Every structure is written in C-alpha cells, then in structure tokens.
Amino acid sequence: MTMRRLAMLFAMAMVVASCSSSSELDVEDAWARNSAGMADAGAVYMTINGGEEADRLTGVTIGSNIAGMARVHETAMDDDGLMSMQEVPQIDIPANGEVNLEPGGFHVMIMPLADRLTAGDEFTITLNFEQAGPVEVTVEVREE
Amino acid sequence: MPTAPEQPIMHCRRLVLWTLASAMVLVSCGGDNSVALDGDSPSLAGIVRQPYPDVSGVVLPEAADDGKQFATKAESGHLLVVYFGYTACPDVCPTTMSFLRRAVRDLGDDASMIDVAMITVDPERDVPDRLTAYVENFFADGYALRTEDAAALQAAADAFGADYEITVDEGGLVEVAHTGFLYAVDPEGRIRVQWPFGTTAETMNEDLAQLIQGGV
C-alpha cells in the first residue's frame, strides 16, 4: 500500500514536472539590425512567451565586448508628434501571454557598440526575470 | 562634451504647426475640389497636405563634397524623399530607412527615379563622416545633409513641418526627440505625400510608384 502510494506520488510529480517544463517562459526570434555605418547604438527585438506564472522582465545585461550597456526602452510619441525613447523599468509578462519587443515599441537599446553589428553575426544578452531568473538569449544580426 | 540647448522649448510654435498640419490633413481628406486640381492624390495612402507645402527654398550643405549646397527638390522626373533623423537613433530611424530602402528597391526599374536625403537633427554628434556612412548604408547615392547653423536647421524643419528637440539628462546622456515623417518632394520642391513612422514598405512603394508613373 505504502509502496503503491509512493509510486503514484512519483508519477504525479513527473506529470507536474513535465507540464511545467512545457510552459516555462521562453524567448524566441531575438534579432538586431545590422549597424548603419559608424552608428554606435543598436536595438534588440524579440518575442517573450510567458510561462504558467506571470513574470516580469526587470533588466538586461550585455557583455562589454558587445556594448557598454543595455536598457529596456519604449519608443513613445507625445501629443506634438515628437517621438522619443523612454526607459522602461520593467515589462510585465502575463502568464501564458506573449510580449513583443518590436520596431517602434519596446526594444533593448544597446550602446555604445564595441564593434558594428554585421548581418549574420550572433551575440548573447541576458534577460533578468523576477521569477525565471536570468535567461540567456542568442541574438541574430539581420539586414532587415 | 555635448551642451544643453539654450533655446527654451517652443510649445506654442509647435502647437500652431501641428494644428495647422492637422487642419491641412482634414482639408485634404474632405476637400474633393482642391484634390481635383491635380487628380493624382486621392488614392495615395500617405498624408497629402493641400496646398502642397513648398520646400523649394530649403538649401542645406551636404556633409560630404565639401559642404556643397543642396536644395530639397527632386531632379526632373524624380522624387526626393527627405528624412529628419540622427545616427545614434537605435529604433525609429533605422526602421524607417530600412522600410524606405525596401519600398524603393521594390520599384524595380523605377528605383532610379527616387533620391533620398537625410537631414541630421543632431549635427553635434553626427559629424560628417558618420552621417555620410549612415546614409550610404541604406542608399549608396543618398544625400547626407548637415548644418551647424541652428537657425537654418530650424527653418528647414519648419518648412517641412518637422520638429526635433535635444536635451541632456543629469547623467549626461543626450536625448533626442523628433517627428518621424518621410516626405516625398517633387521637382518643383512641393511635398506631394508624407508618411508617418511605421508606414510599411509596401504602402510607400505603392505611393511612390503611383507618383512616378503619373509623371510626378
């Protein structure tokens, strides 16, 4: 009896584990545009898929071999039509939701760039989430 | 070291400009009588201001070519697409230039009828080489325009209905705000259509094709 109960608990634990692993937060399609000439600022875009639990992106770090700093920004337009970038302290990632970092919206600004970004190159950045912790992301440089 | 701009923010002037621009948009949307004069604008997807704003008097030095003076009007049969931006702009400017590049490329043979000029709103950081390389990354024959004369830059922006504002935060970080339109100018120096930030390459391509095929 005890053995059977243990086995059942074990089986249930396995099911739970496999469920949560399939709905963990993940990041896909991370990319940056190739640098235009000597431009020393870049932007990283991506899609963040929320896991079972709501989470929050609280910061981004980048190696100094790529850029001096990485900040989460949002492009915003004021009533006069002037567009500027505002630092975003955090982005809420709803449970099972999708958050897009895309041109004209949220993006990770990286600057100053150590070297120009060339199409075909890849580099990594680390996204820091309140629940999921640090998530390393490979960013593809594209000419788009 | 970048220095903070000395001019106070001119909300009033901006407000007037924008009100005027909005009014013009409204007029162009509702006024079939004015549109009928040319007959080519009703199906353009971008914003058509009526009467067409005249920017033929805007003359700025090129960043390359020893500062050769360049007037913002197209060659005969061409269109000149003008943008106000800056190179340290990670999101809006490269996105816009990239969309425009695709719109022009997709014109095929007519692509040679489109010229592009970018006017920097941040001449202090956009030194000539940097600005020229930036423009040429998107358009090999593009024009990089740069003036250190703040009044001339402001007058150029006013003629187009563009605006910009440069501030420096406590940490010394330069922040640039700017309007994000692309302006298509004809050989007479008139803005025939303008597109707000985010207009797709397909939409701009169709508008450009229509104007070029209409003989501009």
A78-131 pLDDT, tens digit per residue, is 999 999 999 999 999 999 999 999 999 999 999 999 999 999 999 999 999 999
Q: How long is chain B?
A: 216
Count CB neighbours of A13 within 10 A. 10
Identify which of A33, A38, A107 has the shortest CB distance to residue B130: A38
Which B residues 154-213 touch A at CB under 8 Å? 163-165, 175-180, 197-198
Q: Provide the pLDDT confidence category of residue B2 given band limits of 50, 70 and 90.
A: very low
Which one, of B9, B27, B48, B49, lies nearest residue B177 by Cα? B9
What is the overall mean pLDDT for chain A? 91
Contact B163, B179 (CB under 8 A): yes
Contact B175 A84 (CB under 8 A): yes
Mean pLDDT for the stretch of residues B18-40 = 45
A86 inside 8 A of chain B by CB: no
With a cut of 90, say whether residue B12 has pLDDT above it.
no
pLDDT of residue B115: 98
Contact A81 B179 (CB under 8 A): yes
- Alpha-carbon gap, residue A45 to A94, rounded angstroms: 18
pLDDT of residue A9: 64
What percent of chain B is predicted at pLDDT more than 70? 81
pLDDT of residue B172: 86
Instruction: Identify from B11, B20, B91, B105 which residue to disrupt to test chain A contact, counting A C-beta atoms within 10 A and taking the largest count.
Output: B91
> Which tokens belong to B158?
């006013």
pLDDT of residue B137: 96
pLDDT digit string, tens, across residues B204-214: 999 999 999 99
> Which tokens belong to B177?
């705000």
Residues of B within 8 A of A75 (CB-CB) are 91-92
Kindly provide the ipTM of the predicted complex, given to two decimals. 0.83
Identify which of B18, B134, B179 has the shortest CB distance to residue A39: B134
Residues of A within 8 A of B130 (CB-CB) are 37-39
With a cut of 90, say whether residue B13 has pLDDT above it.
no
Mean pLDDT for the stretch of residues A27-39 = 97
Residues of B within 8 A of A35 (CB-CB) are 137
- What are the residue ranges of helices labelled H in chain B? 11-30, 32-35, 92-105, 128-138, 150-160, 201-213
pLDDT of residue A6: 67
pLDDT digit string, tens, across residues B62-84: 999 889 999 999 999 999 999 99
With a cut of 70, say whether residue B160 has pLDDT above it.
yes
pTM of the model: 0.83
pLDDT of residue A1: 52
Q: B172 in the Ramachandran plot: left (φ > 0), alpha (ψ -120 to 50) or beta? A: left
Contact A38 B133 (CB under 8 A): yes
Contact A42 B90 (CB under 8 A): yes
